[in-house]
Structure 1
Amino acid sequence: MEIAFVLVKCEVAHEMDVMRDVLKIDGVKEAHGTYGMYDIFIKVQGQTHKIVSDIVTKQIRKIPHVVSTSTLSTIPEQGGK
Structure 2
Amino acid sequence: MNKLETALVLVKSEISHEMDVMRQLLKIDQVKEAKGTFGLYDIFVKIEANSSLEIADIITKQIRKITHVISTTTLSVIPEQNKK
> TM-score band, normalised by the shorter chain?
over 0.9
1:53 aligns with 2:56: yes
2:22 aligns to what SS in structure 1? helix
SS at match of 1:37: coil
2:37 to 20, 25, 34: 34
> C-alpha deviations, 1:17-73, integer Å up to 9, x for none?
000100000100000000011000000000111111111111001100000100001
| 1:55 partner amino acid | I
Q: Would you identify which runs of 4 or more consecutive aligned residues in structure 1 move more than 6 Å?
A: none
User: Who is 1:64 aligned against?
Assistant: 67
Indicate the residue corresponding to 1:18 in structure 2. 21
Tell me the C-alpha RMSD between the 2 structures.
Answer: 0.8
Give the gaps of 5 or more residues in structure 1: none
**Percent identity of paired positions between Structure 1 and Structure 2:** 63
Once the two structures are TM-superposed, the CA of residue 80 in structure 1 deviates from its matched residue by 3.0
Query: What is residue 5 of structure 2 aligned with on the other side?
Result: 2
TM-score normalised per structure 1? 0.96
* Deviation at residue 75 of structure 1 after TM alignment: 1.1
- Stretches of structure 2 that go unaligned for 5 or more consecutive residues are none
